[in-house]
Structure 1
């Protein structure tokens, strides 16, 4: 019996969205823009083959909205809804759990090289829970081989210092946009551009600049 063919490289990608009540007015925009990103990636076979994407939302609790998926197989995206408060700890805990399960699944599926996961966090405020650092430290522990690259994007009342603390690769704060909706669209466009560039290079590549955002210093250097 012939051994199964090994599949190409894969970048597990996690879009993590703050869906607390302060984001309620942006629900339609979030859903429409996320749909657009998936449409573009789904129509780009090279990108779709390279990047498998999961959507996780967080408010008072954290939720898997879309399990890690081959984008070409996703027919309909679940609707994102906003309510509750902004808690980081449960989100970091869930992201770690999902990465562990997802990478094991990709390896079992025959991926010859699963790259270190990429986590893109979009938030419009500061965390209400004060002990989130414990879960963040577990997620980014240098002894854990599956620890992800984390890129944070903040707008609204997001704090630059906090954004720097929860990022390992880059942190961005919206400063040059007049409307919050422009910040959301710019962030998701940045995610799309990152996936396209990374697929082309077959390695993780992040943008130097994000329109409307200023890059802020990060405390955790990967």
Structure 2
């Protein structure tokens, strides 16, 4: 597995009680706008089962992985609250309206503190969340909501201390320039773009592989006592996915 990263000081600010392992929360955030109808939607239905299957292959991952599933279009909805995915039903995605990144970011900003508090209340040590953000299109007016989700000043404490690692995933007509700006933190995250923009259904399958690989490796890092987010490289994934990082400046 490639691109391991040991947490930087700001990332060491986890939310802890005293258990053996850190719980590693993940949010699977999926675009269900009209352009995802047909084959892409059918492939989307297989994303969560693919991750669940990998977890069943290593049952101890259920001790450390907690996953929530969110869909978004004009608005956003929690389909699966933060849970042990091995103990819940697979969600059913349905096509809705347009595409609003802001709706997804606002919901994440609301949910993350609630989910962390609930996990801590059950005696869990909680690591910084990670978000898989899967879309086949673009959006406007998302910048303020994204800043509220991700901005944090370690020196002053201003902003959202529980900000997540955001891993954007582009398929179909997704805008690479926009999605690169969603890589957060920018020195850590990666953008995963499907190489074949015409076969959206297969592209969803490729992104499911990225998610499963990341979840499994990250969960194993916690079980090994060295928790970290571990993102796959091109060598891990093959030719179906192109990986890049944000290559602009830091101004938002």
TM-score, normalized by the shorter chain, greater than 0.5: yes
Q: TM-score, normalised by structure 1?
A: 0.89
For 1:122, the equivalent position in structure 2 comes to: 134
Query: Which fold has the larger relative contact order, with Cα–Cα distance below 8 Å and residues 6 or more apart in sequence?
Result: 2
- Residue-pair matches, total: 214
Out of 43, 49, 52, the position equivalent to 1:35 is 49
Out of 96, 99, 103, which is 1:86 matched to?
99
Give the secondary-structure state (helix, strand or coil) at the position aligned to 1:156: coil
Task: Answer whether contact 1:164 1:220 (CA < 8 A) is retained.
Answer: no
The residue matched to 1:10 in structure 2 has which SS? strand
Name stretches of at least 5 consecutive residues in structure 1 with no aligned partner.
Answer: none
2:179 corresponds to which residue?
Answer: 163
- Give the 5 Å matches for 1:71-220: 71-74=85-88, 76-111=89-124, 113-127=125-139, 130-142=140-152, 143-168=159-184, 169-176=189-196, 179-202=199-222, 203-209=228-234, 210-211=237-238, 212-218=240-246, 219=248
Residues 19-56 of structure 1 deviation map (CA, whole Å, 9 limit, x = unaligned): 00100112222113322322332442222222100000
Separation in 1, partners of 2:249, 2:94: 31
For residues 35-92 of structure 1, the C-alpha deviation after alignment (integer angstroms, 9 at most, x for no partner) is 2322332442222222100000000110101000112321x22311012000011110
Superposition RMSD in Å: 1.9
Alignment partner of 1:57 is 2:77: no
In structure 2, the gaps of 5 or more residues are: 1-16, 153-158, 223-227
